[in-house]
Amino acid sequence: MAYDKNTPFNELPDLPPVEFQESQEILRHLAKASRYLGQLNGLCASLPDPQLLINTIVLQESKDSSAIENIVTTQDELYKAATEETTASHAAKEVLSYREALYIGLERMHAQKNLLLTNTMVEIVQTIKQNKAGIRSTPGTSLKNAINGEVIYTPPCCEDVLGQKLASLERFINDPIVSPLDPLIKMAFIHYQFEAIHPFADGNGRAGRIVNALYLVQQELLAQPVLYLSSYIVRYKTEYYQLLRGVTEKHNWHDWVMYILTALIETAQLSTKKIRNTLSLKEETEQKMKQVLGSSFSYDLLELMFTLPYLKIELLENKQIAHRQTASTWLKKLDEANILRAHKIGRTTYFVNYKLMDLLSTD
């Protein structure tokens, strides 16, 4: 039957695609992407406290991945929310839920013999959406052009078909037989397939982007889920949608795989650069803090400044880094020395590690 964008695409073929051929161009990009990912992974492994810097990369990815769905929050709002979740805006909370979903997915995968299972994907989407959504069970889902409402794609229907397609995708992801396909190319296939199945009523894009990161961890290409693809997708969003359609309508796997490999190359380089710059800034800050605080210099405070760049006196108290009086003295001195910058929002004064904020927001 000829493909029809208005009819559920129940003929969506299982992976791997028969039409895909590795060109010279793909092999060149593949080598480059593997090299940059390896570099990023090596850098992460050499960090004294990987969690510290990884947290910022993961938050950036959460912010950009959510922005694809038009959940827009500023960098400042997000880090403020990470310090004080109770007063966070709806958008900032959703970004924090994305990060939580990524970590939950990672935990489940590790607990389930490193398998990336359908039920984990369900849990991921439930955490992103903070609801009990399951796999779509009613007909009527289609992807529409946001401007004119025209149908772009109708994913498979219904529960039994989705169940079969997901089971098949799960087998492809967790296949124990060493495949001749490179895991980065497999990741590109998996991402298309997950989006084309479109298992949920909402949150498929974000869940699919989390699956990418988890897959690279499963394949031991990254020890931590520091994949930062979404900044690239945000920038080249129209192309992202067009290329997904290109696979469905014209079996154009080549351009889709090229897009994903290019995104990997650019974003792995960017993450490496950001981590290196953050490390230098941290060293520089440590020296300056020692001059300003003398013998009361606190390494815990330095670490906190690079985990949560929006500090406040209560935070230092809650983390048992210092009593109120000491915390207040430290933060004021650091503000006077231009290491932090005091910033009043409502009745709360935040002391912002503004240099880190600047560094994170530039590409």
Ligand X SMILES: Nc1ncnc2c1ncn2[C@@H]1O[C@H](COP(=O)(O)OP(=O)(O)OP(=O)(O)O)[C@@H](O)[C@H]1O
- Residue type, position 354, single letter: Y
- What backbone phi and psi angles, to 5 degrees, belong to 343? -145, 115
String of DSSP letters for 278-324: HHHHHHHHHHHHHHHHGGG--HHHHHHHTT-SEE-HHHHHHTTSS-H
Q: Which two tokens stand for residue 80?
A: 């403020």
Other beta carbons within 10 Å of 349: 16
Report if residue 256 touches ligand X, rule: CB under 6 A. no
Lay out the site mask for ligand X across 69-108 (x = CB under 6 A, - = otherwise): x---------------------------------------
As a whole number of angstroms, the distance between CA 341 and CA 339 comes to: 7
**In whole angstroms, how close is the CB of 209 to ligand X at the nearest point?**
7
Instruction: Select the binding partner of residue 143 from ligand X, Mg ion, none (C-beta < 5 to 8 A, by kind).
Output: ligand X
| Strand 310-311 relative to strand 151-153, pairing | unpaired
- Residue 196's binding partner, choosing from Mg ion, ligand X, none, with beta-carbon cut-off 5 to 8 A by kind? ligand X
Q: Tokens standing for 270?
A: 């960017």
User: By CB under 6 A, what part of segment 133-172 binds ligand X?
Assistant: 143, 152-153
Closest approach of Cβ 81 to ligand X, in Å?
A: 19
Angle CA 206–180–269, to nearest 5: 45
Q: Which does 36 bind (CB under 5 to 8 A by kind): Mg ion, ligand X, none?
A: none
Nearest residue (beta carbon) to Mg ion: 202
Which one of ligand X, Mg ion, none interacts with residue 80, CB within 5 to 8 A by kind?
none
CB of 95 to ligand X, least distance (A): 11
Rounded to the nearest 10 degrees, the angle between the axes of helix 24-46 and helix 183-197 is 100
Q: Write the interaction track for ligand X spanning residues 34-73; mark x where CB under 6 A is met and - where it is not.
A: ----------------------------------xx----
**What is 2-53 written as a DSSP string?**
---TTS--TTPPPSSPTT----HHHHHHHHHHHHHHHHHHHHHHH-SSHHHH
Judge whether 253 and 22 are in contact, CB under 8 Å: no
Instruction: List the x/- string, 206-225, binding to ligand X by CB under 6 A.
Output: x-x-----------------
| Residue 62 touches which of Mg ion, ligand X, none (Cβ within 5-8 Å per kind) | none
Among 22, 159, 202, 335, binds Mg ion (CB under 5 A): 202
Does residue 251 belong to the site contacting ligand X (CB under 6 A)? Answer: no
Q: Give yes or no for residue 204 binding ligand X (CB under 6 A).
A: yes
245 sits near ligand X (criterion: CB under 6 A):
yes
Least Å distance between CB 196 and ligand X?
5
Q: CA 73, 224, 231, 242 torsion: positive or negative? A: negative
Contact residues for Mg ion, defined by CB under 5 A: 69, 202
Contact residues for ligand X, defined by CB under 6 A: 68-69, 143, 152-153, 195-196, 202-206, 208, 241, 244-245, 248
